[in-house]
Each structure stands twice: as C-alpha cells, then as structure tokens.
Structure 1
C-alpha cells in the first residue's frame, strides 16, 4: 500500500501532462467573393435540396427514391461508418487499463507394477491455479488521445463519404435517365423522318410514273429512306444500355428497369434555375471538401501520435495469483506483485524521428489535397453554370431553326409537285429538318446534363436520407466548417 500511495501523486502529475503534436486548426484559402456569372449572394444550405424534382418527371422521382439507399456504392460507404466507429473504440482502448484473467487445473499421479510391488497405493495430486493481471500505460504525452482524435476525424470523414457516394449516385442516375429519354426521343424523331422520307419516295415514284421524274430521283429518295432505317438500331442500343445502367445503379440486375422505361416520355427539362451561391458556400455544402478537411484533421493528429513515441512511457503492472494443491499435503498459495515499468527510447537509428517526419509530410499532402478539392469544386461550378446559361440560348435558337426548316420542307415539296424544283431540293430540305430536330434533342439533353452538373457541383441533395453522426463515447461531432 505504501508503494501505491507514493505512486498516486506521480500518476496524477503524469496524467495531467502535455499532449505533444500540433493542435489542429481548420485550413483556409483565398476564395473569390462570387462566381463569374452569378450574383454574390449565399445560397445557404443546398445539401437537402431535391433539385431533380424540378424536372417534374414522376418516373425519375420514383427511380431516385428507390435507389437512394439501394445503390451499392452508397451501401459500401454506410458500412465504412461501422468500421470507423470500431476504429474509434480501438484507438482509445490502449489508454485504458487492461485486465486479463487466467486459470488452469491439472491432476497427476503414479500407477504401475513397481508401485504395487513396493506396497504403495496410487497417489494423485490436483493443482488448481488462477491469476488476474492488469496493465495501464499512462498516456501523459497524449499518444492515445491523439490516436482517438485521429479516429474521430476519420469517422467524420466516413459520414461525409456517404454523401459523396450519394451525390455521385444522383449524378449518374439522372444523367443516365436523361440519356435514355434522349435515345427514345431520337428514335421517335427518326421514325418521323422515316415516314416523311417514305412520303417523298412515293411522291417521286408518282411523278416518275407521270413522266416528270427520272429513275435517279427515285434511287436518291430510296437511299435517304435506307439511311434513316440504318440509324434506328444504334439508337435502340443506346436506350437499352441506358436502361441497363440505371438498373445497376439501383442495385438490381440489368434489364430489370427496362419495362418501366419502355414507354416513351418527354425529355427532362428543368423548370427552375439553380441558386449557385458563392464559392465559400462550397466549403460547407460539398461533402468531398468536408471529407478532405476531416482527413487533414486525422493526419494532423497522427503527428502527435508519432511524436509521443520520442518520449519515455510509464506502465503500471500488477498481478494476483492463487494456487491450491490437493494431495497428501494440501495447501494454498497466494502471490501478488505491483510496480511501474519505465521505457526510455535511447537509440533506434532515427526510426522514431523518421515516423514524425512521415506523419508531418502526410498532413501536408492532405492539406494540398483539400485545397485541390476546393479549387476543383469552384471550377466545376463555373463550367456547369457557363454551359447551362448558353444551353438555354442554344435551345431557343435551335427551336427557331427547326421551325424554319419545317417550313422550307413544306415549300420545297409544293414547288417539286409544281415542277419548279428538283428532288434534290426536297431531299436537302428533309435532311435539314431531320438534322435540326436531332440537334434540338441533343441540345435539350446537354441542357439537362448541365443542370444536373451544376446542382451536383454545389452539393445539392447530398445529405438527403443520410444518417446523422452518432457520437461515440468521449467523442464530439465535428462542427460544420
């Protein structure tokens, strides 16, 4: 007891010692006050914005809701939360007292002809023993506190990575759905073109029967019909591949979603604009930026873990053992021991210092990764916004072009019937109508894709149906940066 009383003040002194390594500070970088083509006004929290509903497409909304927690990438990210939570417990366990118990029992004796000749009797001895041992590494340089700090930051990053996976899912599912509807629209337009070109072929055949057209005119009209027929299979392939991809994203076998999409629907077109906000909003709303910041915090704490290895460590060890022997002579024996063990690193060839340098370098790499993530996010917003603004302009211009070409085709046919123009004029007009219609469909697809890209770039909808972080014992949830 005297030893315990003398060591208690020393223990309290050591436990109140300093924690080595740098204290983490959130990173900072210079950001512009506004995006180049947006008003300098904050968009607030965009992580709960269901932006895909602006397409007003019930089928798309159903698919998004169906796969929100069924996408396999999202499920993997959710499972990594459990792994990170276990790592938090593991990181702090070393700083707690370790108690282990054990026991054994044996029986021994002698038997045989020699014992019988000597008139002896069979003797047996039973030995029962048990022990309890304890060990406590006093964390007075913060090795386990820094390790727990690092594990907590990694757990925060795991929650953010769920949002990263969910945002990637939303991006790919919506663009895949947009592609499927584009291929359906292109198929419908090509079938419409096919009908128009067959009418032109019949008109040419009728005029040739009247002696006012040549066989060359008929052959040229037939060639345009066959060209249109050849364009249909690739578009059908594109639709089925898009439907199969949507099924995989929803976590079901390919072709499962095809029956739901086989009925053609209008191309998705956004009905409302997107609030872009300011670059500083991305620090809060982009899950990949938050994850990179948490990884930086985890790497910074690891510097302290490495530095703590440079200093002495003190361990308190104790054992209590009890044994009982049952034989001709029966007795009990109890033993115990208690005392500190001091370990001082003297010479290790520079390995411990190298570990500190490695941890410091890893932290610097994580800072650069965080900064690169921020800059990439700003670039993605700028590019998507620039594309979306000009897509609206392009769609309006192509709509006018389609109307002009359709009118020109009508005039060309009337002129051809009257003999004032050739079949080439009609065929050229049909090509212009077909090409402009397909261009309009492709432009609407680009508009929808850029709308998706812009909302993903600002972190829209990333936190919908995402679990709220549950603090582990002794853990504080990281504040939003």
Structure 2
C-alpha cells in the first residue's frame, strides 16, 4: 500500500510532463543569394528605415508622423493585441486549479396567539447559515493546455506583426495618395501653362486674320484647342481633391480636413537617393506579413498537439467541503461534509470525431505553411518587379525631359515661322499639342517613378517597425521577442 502511495504521485508527475503533438520548427525556403537586378549582395535591416524622407518633402514627413498613431486600421490592429493577450490567459487557465466558493443564510420564524384562561402568545425563529467550496484540477497529462497556451502565444506574436502590416499598408497608401495629389496639381499647372500658350496663339491668329493673312478656319481651330484644354482642367482638380480626401481618412479625420493645407502647390515628390536592397533572405526577417504567416504556422502546429491530447485519457482531481449551522429558539447545531477524489475520463467511442479533429489541425498547419511559402515568394516577386520598374522609370523620366525640351524649342520655331508666313497655323497647333502632351507625360513619369520607389520600400518591409512619435506603438515586445 505504501508503494502505491509513493508511485501514484510520481506517475502523475511523469505523465504531466508528457506533451503530444509535433514540436515546432521554423520553416525554411530555398532562396536565391541575391536579387537579379543588383549585383552586390549585402544583408540589411530596413524595418527602421524612414524611406519617405528620401523625397525631402516636409509636408509629407509631417503627414506621415501625424497619422502613424491615428490611422484607424493601425488602431484596430493594436486592439487585436489586447484580445490576443487575453487569449493567452484563457488558454493557460484550463491547466490551473479552479476554486469556487459560495454561501447562503436564511431566517425562518413563526408568530401567533391563542387564548386560554390567562391569554398568551408564541414566537419561534430558526436561523440557517451554510457555506461551501469546491476545487478541481485537471492534470495536464498530455500537454493539452500547454499546447493551447503555446498556440495562443504564437497568435499573440502574429498580432504584433499584424500591427506592422497595418502600419506598412498605411505608409504605402498615404505616400501614394500624396504623390497622386501632387501629380494632379502639377498636371493642372502645366495645363494652365498650355492654356496660356494656346490663348496667345489664338490672339496671334486673330491678329493675322485681321490683317487678311489667315482664314476663319484657322481661328476656329485655335479656339478648339483652347476649349479642349479648358475641358481637361476639371479632371485634375477632381483627382487632387479625391487624393486629399483619402489622405484625411488615413489620418483618421473627416474628408476635406487636409485639403486646404495641400492647396498650396509643391514640387512633385521624387526620391533623392537609392534604397538599400539587401538579399532575399532579409525579407523573412523584415517583412511583417511573412513574420505573421510564420507565427500563424507556429500557432497551427501547436493546435495539432491540442487535438491529439484529446485522444488520450484525462484525469481530474476534485474536492468539496460544505458546512452549515442551524440556530433555533430551543437548540443549535452544525454539520460539515467534505469529499475528495480523482476522476478519470476515457475517450472510447466518439464516431471518429477526435481523430478527425487531429486531421483538421494537421491540414490547417499545412495550409499555413503553404501560406507562409506563398508570402515569401510574393515578397521576392514584388521586390524584383519594383526594381525593374524603378530602373526603367529613371530612364523614362530622363528621356521625357529631353522630349519636353525638344518640343519647347519646336513650338518657338513654329510660332516664329507662322508669324513670318513660312508655315501654316497647323504646324503651331501641332507643336503646342505635342508640348502639352509631353509635359503631362513627364509629370506622369515622375509620379510612376515615385510610386515604384514606394512599392520597392514597402516590398522590402522598410519602416514597418517605426513607432509613432506620440508613443502609440506596439506596447512592448512580442511574446517571442520579435
């Protein structure tokens, strides 16, 4: 008997150290040593790189800082951290002792009167006080709750990474919206220049017609070009206002809140220096969406152990104690009862439900692995695409600048020839049309260059770990130290 008393606690202790299910190992993917568009391979950490400062635009910098802690998507992701923290507590609570207590009290009485020769009355009262407590402890024989807490902790890590995903999306959306607003302002200003030039041509044509050297057709053609320019201007105003309204929404403000501050025109944003690219392996560390997918894989892997633990017996130690005291008019007394003992639950037949839960958990983990692998491959593709586009954009912008210079010279020559009667009005109108088109094309090229610069930095995960200046950040490190 003594041997049983000694071996039973030891066996419970040994069983409680058993954890079923696979132990998590971080996934690995075969990645190229370097990106195809860069010859030099050097590992870098870009998560703290404020890449938008390369535009050297103080207004853009202030907008980024203003909305870093106010963006509603970022705030929602911060709230999901609070939820994930609570889930860690809930997941671990099942493996801890549970104690509940309660009590009650009642008073019963009886009053009455009756007549005898002298007359008298009766009164009786009974007080009952009772209380009790019960405790239970599910011995985590096969690590069900330890795996559940492991899964919840990995989900908490994923919630922290989700904040950086939302922050990176905010940076991308804000900067591209700002680039769009400045492009529409620039295009509007360029079309105003073209309008002024075309009105000048119209005035020149009317003067030549008055001198008898031009026809009414020439005047009508010049007027048509003026009116076509007027028709294009409202579209750029619409584009500017829509971009400004979206910036306000990203800052957590009502639409039109920042329109006035952006009305004063500024040069189109264009990056003044290059970005450090690093190597493809850096994406696994720097991109928050890849880190989040890896943490979700860890959570799904731990869930396999939770499902497998339910295939095995569970042991619960439980006990209770109840006490009551009765105080009556004539006498009083108390009663105490208690109980304690283990209970064993054996899953014998459940129609295959528990085994199916294990298969579901394994499939979910495999899906999460494929999602992680897809995120890695998508990241490499996005970087490669942005590198190619950015390189070509620099060449396009350089060529368009030369095109604009050529058409400006061509317009001057056509106008002088038209004044001297050596050419027709059609040559002037064609030169004006070509110049206006090339100017807007240059503005669009600069916009594309800036957008692809943003795309490259976002694809690298740049700036995702920068917290807002007001301190509304991730509220500490993640559960895994990320």
Say whether the fold is shared (TM-score over 0.5): yes
1:137 and 1:315 in contact (8 A); partners too: yes
Q: 1:9 to 1:332 in 2, by over 3 A?
A: farther
Q: Distance in 2 between matches of 1:303 and 1:40?
A: 42
Residue 277 of structure 1 corresponds to which residue in structure 2? 278
Residue 322 of structure 1 corresponds to which residue in structure 2? 323
Residue 467 of structure 1 corresponds to which residue in structure 2? 474
Structure 2: tracts of 5 or more residues without a match: 468-472
Residue 290 of structure 1 corresponds to which residue in structure 2? 291
Residue 155 of structure 2 corresponds to which residue in structure 1? 154
Residue 135 of structure 1 corresponds to which residue in structure 2? 136
Shift of 1:40: 4.2
Map of 1:409-448 to 2, 5 A cutoff? 409-448=411-450
Shift of 1:106: 1.1
Q: For structure 1, which segment, 118-127 or 171-180, has the greater mean C-alpha deviation from structure 2 after superposition?
A: 118-127
1:115 and 1:121 in contact (8 A); partners too: no
Q: 1:334 to 1:178 in 2, by over 3 A?
A: same
Per-residue Cα deviation, 1:149-180 (whole angstroms, up to 9, x for no partner): 00000000000000000000000000000000
Structure 2 residue 30 is the aligned partner of structure 1 residue 23: no
Structure 2 residue 335 is the aligned partner of structure 1 residue 339: no
Q: Distance in 1 between matches of 2:406 and 2:320?
A: 95
Shift of 1:9: 3.3
Q: 1:119 to 1:8 in 2, by over 3 A?
A: farther
Map of 1:260-275 to 2, 5 A cutoff? 260-275=261-276
1:42 and 1:281 in contact (8 A); partners too: no
2:136 and 2:318 in contact (8 A); partners too: yes
Per-residue Cα deviation, 1:14-48 (whole angstroms, up to 9, x for no partner): 323x1000000101111111111113423411000
Structure 2 residue 42 is the aligned partner of structure 1 residue 35: no
Per-residue Cα deviation, 1:229-249 (whole angstroms, up to 9, x for no partner): 111111101101100000000
1:312 and 1:343 in contact (8 A); partners too: yes
1:156 and 1:469 in contact (8 A); partners too: no
Structure 1: tracts of 5 or more residues without a match: 472-476
Per-residue Cα deviation, 1:342-393 (whole angstroms, up to 9, x for no partner): 1111110101001101001100000011111111111100111100000000
Q: Distance in 2 between matches of 1:347 and 1:361?
A: 23
Structure 2 residue 391 is the aligned partner of structure 1 residue 389: yes
Q: 1:431 to 1:355 in 2, by over 3 A?
A: same
2:322 and 2:338 in contact (8 A); partners too: yes
1:33 and 1:40 in contact (8 A); partners too: no
Shift of 1:113: 6.6
Q: Distance in 2 between matches of 1:63 and 1:54?
A: 15
Residue 453 of structure 2 corresponds to which residue in structure 1? 451
Shift of 1:446: 0.1
Per-residue Cα deviation, 1:178-237 (whole angstroms, up to 9, x for no partner): 000000000100000000000000000000000000000000000000000111111101
2:44 and 2:277 in contact (8 A); partners too: no
Structure 2 residue 253 is the aligned partner of structure 1 residue 249: no
Q: Distance in 2 between matches of 1:163 and 1:116?
A: 90
Q: 1:371 to 1:116 in 2, by over 3 A?
A: farther
2:154 and 2:298 in contact (8 A); partners too: yes
Residue 196 of structure 2 corresponds to which residue in structure 1? 195
Residue 71 of structure 1 corresponds to which residue in structure 2? 71
Between Structure 1 and Structure 2, how many residues are aligned?
473
Residue 173 of structure 1 corresponds to which residue in structure 2? 174
Q: Distance in 2 between matches of 1:470 and 1:446?
A: 37
Q: Distance in 2 between matches of 1:116 and 1:308?
A: 77
1:115 and 1:122 in contact (8 A); partners too: no
Residue 406 of structure 1 corresponds to which residue in structure 2? 408
Residue 474 of structure 1 corresponds to which residue in structure 2? none
TM-score of the superposition, structure 2-length normalised?
0.95
Map of 1:296-307 to 2, 5 A cutoff? 296-307=297-308
Shift of 1:259: 1.1
Q: 1:116 to 1:30 in 2, by over 3 A?
A: farther
Q: Distance in 1 between matches of 2:205 and 2:268?
A: 35
1:72 and 1:249 in contact (8 A); partners too: yes
Q: Distance in 2 between matches of 1:215 and 1:116?
A: 136
Per-residue Cα deviation, 1:265-322 (whole angstroms, up to 9, x for no partner): 0000000011111110100000000000000000000000000000000000011221
Shift of 1:467: 2.2
Q: Distance in 2 between matches of 1:417 and 1:408?
A: 14
Per-residue Cα deviation, 1:69-97 (whole angstroms, up to 9, x for no partner): 00000000011101100100110001000
TM-score of the superposition, structure 1-length normalised?
0.95
